[in-house]
Structure 1
């Protein structure tokens, strides 16, 4: 089985000696200090579309707000192309000054020295420390006692609902969705909504999309008050009973009446935004899509039907890709930039993401931002992928989960067999060394 990471082991260990790669990336090395004027910082990110436009606005804001630095962004294709190029730049020690990474991908890069640590004392001087971030989000940036990432946001998997449809179905209370404290409660709500729409009560697109299946499944799984553990070498700690219960609940939602048995992501978006369903399971990144549809809606955390409020999420985070000879001035300015961006992230909130910086989400201005303020609590309950070198956004891990789970969701086959297939895939992942870890490569 091919190692499920964007670079294979030979690429990681040989990247520093690739003359062509070094030539290509030479323009990204820190420039010599200018005699006067702002320092230019090279910043790589993978945000495009609406998020890319919003990020450009944030960068314009920080550029105008001070005169010490100017950000020069480079936008690369989401997923494998981005992480491959960033890894090769870091392996060669000629990386950009700062970059965006998903928080769930950081752990896999740490052993190979592909990321440099942030100076926590300097960050604290700039107003960035544990007191200004939700605890689970701040903790995610620490790897073996080193601060390797600083979160800009959390972007959780949530429940969107059409308030007009839900009002007719009698599932609102004071204009907000009623609490559902068991699987039966939630299924009854979806049934009531389906009675109003005459079609489906819920939209959920999952066909061929392992990430979508995983996001809902892991939200439900962690609602049991547990998380998966996947230590290098194994064995994995996966509660089979909780996993089966979570998949069984997903099967009950996908019965053809509550939600379509066979729906891809685009079909689910279209169904909800045209008023043909009353609920929609998706990520906060679809906020602007739904707003553009001009339907009355609100957003809430997915009900804690198994007891514990949780929200599967990832975070766009700032990292320092490894540089062999970092310029002291540029490195200090990178710290300033990583502190300035969370402080100025209200525009990021308008796009749907939950800012990680608490002074933003606890402000009076944010309290008036709807529906964002209605799901801000999710930041306190985020659950990331199980920490492992092969997990995280854009990884093959989520695709493997989808391959294991889709037969059960599509055809109603035994969910226990699906969990067994998933456990077998995790066992194969755990038997492989981290390609980014030179020690692991020699074992």
Structure 2
């Protein structure tokens, strides 16, 4: 069936989803290393922060005296919980590795508040020296001149080259042929499984890994067996209530497995395969039927079900790895089994960007390149949180093989599926929120798949008709 769109209806509305990078109660209150000397957690209620306040915030890394011998660099990011602790350690490591620069972190609230503040700071001429963005959000910023390009010659001098990155990740780092983002990692949507439950179900191979399922029937049978061996009788745990991003991750993974693609041409209409999209939604419904998987979990209850052994498998992002290890769960991870013919792993990447500066200081820019090169070369520590380092020499190092379960899904980088490019797509975006608005009622079986799909497409087409606000 050729791609088409048929905006004929609307569905109900669900609340926006939570921060996907870790469980909120676990992350709250976690201390960060000493390098976080001016840490500011700005909640969603602070989203109306004025431009003057932003200017003061961005200026926190400016040297206090023009004759200072040490450059004080400012670094904005949205990493909290274990990710924030690890990044803080890497910043401390860089600061201690030389005596020319001191990098100061500013941590802002995850999601739309962060991206709004970053855009305002860049447009207002008070941008930080370096920042973290999700790679899928870059297409909404680079065309508006909010990001500067990285210097590949300088990176080559520092030992960082294009061939050091997986092809899909490198391609995602480019805009109009310019390197506008330097990916630190990829964090795909994966399948966790309880190894004790899988063993009891006779579902582990001689290598100790989950047996392969290559058809929908095989996967449902596998899930049913793990459900029979679990304490709660569910083979799968999947949290979607109030979380449009998690709904989209599962949909995108299976829709791509079926051969589907999505394009979002600005000024046009969403290009997709309606038949495959409906088939994907019906497949997901068959997995959250109350038998194979619980029909109405949010993120927290799905995590709890997996931790307590009431479900044999769990769909989620790799960032839950640290949480499950801390809870003592016997688990491993695999890619979402390819049961429809095309291997796929929905993902995004944390990426370093250069927020636009009208007259950047060459020495400060060189130091920022040195900081990014340092983090990339030391990203084995970053892998501990579950993320796959984008810098291939780290993944190819024998030390990475010792990381379990991380080394078991490292080949996901060959099958990454990022969001379709648009100014409104990417992690924590309106694209995900609108998907959740219309698909939650589909997942809860109160709206037919085609009606929810049509409502979502109508909403997206309305955005495509508008120019980018940046």
Residues 154-202 of structure 1 show CA distances to partners (whole Å, capped at 9, x for unaligned) of: 1111100001101111222121111111211111111111111252111
Name the residue aligned to 2:82: 50
Residues 198-255 of structure 1 show CA distances to partners (whole Å, capped at 9, x for unaligned) of: 5211100101110110011101111123421111111221111221111111000011
Instruction: Give the one of 173, 180, 189 matched to 2:205.
Output: 173
Matched, 1:367 2:401: yes
Name the residue aligned to 2:236: 202
- CA distance in structure 1 between the partners assigned to 2:305 and 2:267 by the alignment: 44
Mean CA deviation greater in 414-423 or 241-250: 414-423
- Root mean square deviation, CA, Å: 1.8
Instruction: Give the one of 312, 315, 321 matched to 1:278.
Output: 312
Residues 77-131 of structure 1 show CA distances to partners (whole Å, capped at 9, x for unaligned) of: 1112211211111001111100000101111011221111111221222222220
* Structure 1 segment 264-413 matched on structure 2, within 5 A: 264-411=298-445, 413=447
Matched, 1:423 2:419: no
Q: In 2, are the aligned partners of 1:103 and 1:149 still within 8 Å (CA)?
A: yes
Mean CA deviation greater in 132-141 or 191-200: 191-200
**Closer/same/farther in 2, CA of residues 70 and 29 from structure 1, 3 Å limit:** closer
- CA distance in structure 2 between the partners assigned to 1:373 and 1:90 by the alignment: 38
Mean CA deviation greater in 22-31 or 285-294: 22-31
Q: In 2, are the aligned partners of 1:30 and 1:97 still within 8 Å (CA)?
A: no
- CA distance in structure 2 between the partners assigned to 1:133 and 1:30 by the alignment: 32
- CA distance in structure 2 between the partners assigned to 1:98 and 1:109 by the alignment: 14
- Post-superposition offset of 1:337: 1.2
- CA distance in structure 2 between the partners assigned to 1:159 and 1:388 by the alignment: 28
- CA distance in structure 1 between the partners assigned to 2:64 and 2:238 by the alignment: 51
Structure 1 gaps of 5+ residues are: 5-17, 437-443
- CA distance in structure 2 between the partners assigned to 1:96 and 1:271 by the alignment: 41
Task: Give the match's secondary structure for 1:373.
Answer: helix
Count of residues in correspondence between the two structures = 420
Name the residue aligned to 1:216: 250
Matched, 1:140 2:172: yes
Q: In 2, are the aligned partners of 1:171 and 1:177 still within 8 Å (CA)?
A: yes
Task: Give the match's secondary structure for 1:425.
Answer: helix
Q: In 1, are the aligned partners of 2:61 and 2:73 still within 8 Å (CA)?
A: no
Task: Give the match's secondary structure for 1:202.
Answer: strand
Q: In 2, are the aligned partners of 1:25 and 1:95 still within 8 Å (CA)?
A: no
Q: In 2, are the aligned partners of 1:262 and 1:410 still within 8 Å (CA)?
A: yes
- Post-superposition offset of 1:23: 4.8
- CA distance in structure 2 between the partners assigned to 1:402 and 1:289 by the alignment: 25
Length-normalised TM-score, structure 2: 0.86
Name the residue aligned to 1:114: 146
- Post-superposition offset of 1:308: 1.1
Q: In 2, are the aligned partners of 1:29 and 1:95 still within 8 Å (CA)?
A: no
- CA distance in structure 1 between the partners assigned to 2:127 and 2:447 by the alignment: 48
Matched, 1:187 2:231: no
- CA distance in structure 2 between the partners assigned to 1:412 and 1:190 by the alignment: 25
- Post-superposition offset of 1:295: 2.1
Matched, 1:160 2:188: no
Structure 2 gaps of 5+ residues are: 1-15, 17-49
- CA distance in structure 1 between the partners assigned to 2:278 and 2:167 by the alignment: 30
Name the residue aligned to 1:83: 115
- CA distance in structure 2 between the partners assigned to 1:341 and 1:236 by the alignment: 38
**Closer/same/farther in 2, CA of residues 158 and 22 from structure 1, 3 Å limit:** closer
- CA distance in structure 1 between the partners assigned to 2:408 and 2:235 by the alignment: 22
Moved over 4 A (4+): 32-37
